[in-house]
Amino acid sequence: MMSNNLLVFLATLTVAYSLPSPDEAAKRGQYQPETIEVTFPAYSRYVNPNNQTDTFWGPQKKVYFFETDPTMARLSGEEFTWITYDKAKEATKLEDKDREYNMTCYANLREGGHSGVTHGIELDTKAPYIKSLSNESWEDMVKNANVICPIGECIKEGGCEGLEIPKWNQDYLKSYVKP
């Protein structure tokens, strides 16, 4: 009985000891997921277009995982719906009639290949609409990982006159001059 326990212990120890570090895993062709954490601000809501029950109110994060292989340059995106609400209303009493914009957005991993890296991005309704929460430069966000919302529509009762529709694409991000 004791020898069986000892064999199990040694086998477990051998497996645990042989697990590679993220750098060693990348060298061996085993990659850690690259993640994008999108922070949704207050007065907004996240909706998964493929699963309407997957929804939440901001401020909160949604994490997207991308399997990465540094030897392959590619573009990957995860679609989501971002709905913004009237900030003049009380945040705990928001209703459908308080909606302002309905946007189709994508969490984009552009070049990828950064095994185990997490990109933190916060959404905003004011230009440039995104900011890094992971100390990445604007150029790195544009090049590596970002969020675009190329489709947006006003859904506010009475219209959105005087309100800028927060929608943007990759070309906007490339041309935006960050102050």
pLDDT tens for each residue of 13-56: 343 344 444 445 445 556 677 889 999 999 999 999 999 899 99
Choice between 59 and 65, residue whose per-residue pLDDT is larger = 59
User: Considering the entire predicted model, what is its pTM?
Assistant: 0.76
Grade residue 163 by pLDDT with cuts at 50, 70 and 90.
confident
Residue 1 belongs to a domain: no
Closest CA to 36 of 117, 94, 95, 131: 117
Q: Which residue has the tokens 């601000």?
A: 41
How many structural domains compose the chain?
1
**DSSP letters spanning 46-108:** EEETTEEEEEEESSEEEEEEE---TT----EEEEEEEEEE-TTS-GGG--GGGEEEEEEEEEE
What is the percentage of the chain residues whose pLDDT exceeds 90? 41
Residue 15 belongs to a domain: no
Residue 134 belongs to a domain: yes
For the record, the structure tokens of 136 come out as: 């990445």
Structural domain harbouring 68: 30-175
Q: Which residue has the tokens 């905003």?
A: 124
For the record, the structure tokens of 51 come out as: 């699963």
pLDDT at residue 19 in the model: 43
Grade residue 143 by pLDDT with cuts at 50, 70 and 90.
confident
Residue 21 belongs to a domain: no
Residue 95 belongs to a domain: yes
Residue 3 belongs to a domain: no
